[in-house]
A and B are shown apart, each in its own frame.
Chain A
Amino acid sequence: QKEVEQNSGPLSVPEGAIASLNCTYSDRGSQSFFWYRQYSGKSPELIMSIYSNGDKEDGRFTAQLNKASQYVSLLIRDSQPSDSATYLCAVLNSNYQLIWGAGTKLIIKP
Chain B
Amino acid sequence: GAGVSQSPRYKVAKRGQDVALRCDPISGHVSLFWYQQALGQGPEFLTYFQNEAQLDKSGLPSDRFFAERPEGSVSTLKIQRTQQEDSAVYLCASSMATGGVYEQYFGPGTRLTVT
Contacts and interface: CB of A to CB of B under 8 A. Distances in A.
Interface of A: 32, 34, 42-46, 49, 51, 88, 90, 92, 96-103
Interface of B: 33, 40-45, 56, 89, 91, 100, 102-109
A92 B108 CA distance: 22
Contacts of A97: 45, 56
A90 B104 CA distance: 10
A32 B102 contact: yes
Contacts of A100: 42-45
B103 A34 contact: yes
Contacts of B108: 42-43
A96 B100 CA distance: 11
Contacts, number: 44
A43 B102 CA distance: 18
Contact of B103 (A43, A46, A99): A46
B42 A46 contact: no
A97 B105 CA distance: 15
B106 A92 contact: no
Given A92-B102, A98-B102, A43 B109 contact: yes
Contacts of A98: 33, 45, 102, 104
B103 A49 contact: yes
B42 A88 contact: yes
B102 A46 contact: no
A51 B43 CA distance: 21
B42 A102 contact: yes
Contacts of A42: 108
B42 A101 contact: yes
